[in-house]
Amino acid sequence: MAGKEDVKDGAGSGLEMLRSEVGDYLGAQAEHLVGKTGEKLTGLTQKLLDTASGDGGGGGGFIQGVGSRILQGESPFKALVAEKAGGVKDKVMDKAKGLFGGKSKGKSGSAKVMNIIEVLDIGLPLRTTYDHWTQYDEFSGFTKGVQSVSQSDEVTSDWKLKVGPSKRSYKATVQEQIPDQRIVWTSEGAKGTTRGCVTFHELAPELTRIVLVVEYSPAGFFEKTGNIWRAQGRRLRLDFKNFQRYVSFADPDEVEGWRGEIRDGEVVRSHEEVVEEEEQEAGEEGEEGDGDEEEYEDEYEDEEEDDEAPDEEGDYEDEEEEEDEEDEEER
């Protein structure tokens, strides 16, 4: 009997020890889990506090802004929506500024230069076509993009233009101008700058080719937006065709262009000087042509005289034959 009781006591004590160990283990694991959970809650709480105070870079004072709106009398829902919309608007504006060259938190964009190249053939003589082009004050009468042009002198002029709803003013300076050949200019304005060159080429006595090359650098939001859609290029192309239509139906005798010459932005030969030189050259060519005609007429007259001149030897022989015949008849 005693042995059985000792076995029971040993078994009981072992079971209790096992229960005690298991309990201690579970208690230690519970404390460990509670500690980890507490650390996570502490970190989350700190992040929320940083966001509410505007620190941490992520929220940007979002909760603080919502709270401020609620204190001003807005409903919680309305305050939340308004603050969120404001954040979205700021992001959109930053991206737009970066696209059009403005300062933003991201990368800053730069506007691209627009290159415009147009070629037209006009059924008029070279000089007539060139003279029409030099009449800048007439451009507002047949184009839609040019509103007015006023010339300060032979080199500079003020242009008021319109492309769609946008209006702009430019001060243009002629850098080089050679009659019947080419005109090179630059222009500056609040909404951009341009560099341009127009050349004139004689394909036939009654056919002239115009080549127009323009480099346009826009400035400002609307100009850069229009540059994306190529509005300036389309406007110039249409007005170039309007010039072709205008000069084709204009009276060539009424046009009087500016024939002066400009080099490096300065007039080197005035209109009167060039016109006088051209008239002298035309007169010299006319005199040479008259001289050639007179020589040809003299040669023609000499040939006629040679044809009409009598052959003295032939006439003398004929007279001798006639005398011989008369003597024979008398005999």
User: Of 115, 144, 136, 161, which is closest to residue 238 (Cα–Cα)?
Assistant: 144
As a 3-state breakdown, the chain gives helix, strand, coil percent values, each rounded to 5, of 55, 25, 20
pTM: 0.55
Bridge partner list, 214: 116, 196
Measured CA distances, 300 to 164, 221, 268, 310 (Å): 70, 78, 48, 18
In terms of phi and psi (left: phi > 0; alpha: psi -120 to 50; beta: otherwise), the region of 199 is beta
Measured CA distances, 319 to 41, 52, 316, 322 (Å): 153, 144, 5, 5
Question: What local confidence, expressed as pLDDT, does residue 266 receive?
Answer: 95
Contact 201, 208 (CB under 8 A): yes
Question: What local confidence, expressed as pLDDT, does residue 177 receive?
Answer: 97
Tokens 């008398």 correspond to what residue? 330
pLDDT digits (tens), the chain, 331 positions: 555 555 555 555 666 776 666 666 666 666 666 566 556 555 555 554 554 455 444 455 566 666 666 666 677 666 666 666 666 556 655 655 555 455 444 444 455 788 899 999 999 999 999 999 999 999 999 999 899 999 989 999 999 998 877 788 999 999 999 999 999 999 998 888 899 999 999 999 999 999 999 998 888 665 666 565 577 788 889 999 999 999 999 988 888 899 999 999 999 999 999 999 999 988 887 777 666 666 656 665 666 665 555 555 555 555 566 666 666 665 5
Length of the chain, in residues: 331
User: Of 68, 35, 42, which is closest to residue 50 (Cα–Cα)?
Assistant: 42
**How far apart are the C-alpha atoms of 55 and 47, rounded to whole Å?**
9
**How far apart are the C-alpha atoms of 148 and 176, rounded to whole Å?**
23
**Helix, coil or strand: residue 13:** helix
Residue 100 exposed, middle or buried by CB count within 10 Å (0-12, 13-18, 19+): buried
Question: What local confidence, expressed as pLDDT, does residue 58 receive?
Answer: 47
Q: What is the DSSP letter of 137?
A: G
Q: What is the DSSP letter of 66?
A: H
Question: What local confidence, expressed as pLDDT, does residue 108 receive?
Answer: 45
Backbone angles phi, psi at 254, to 5 degrees: -90, -20
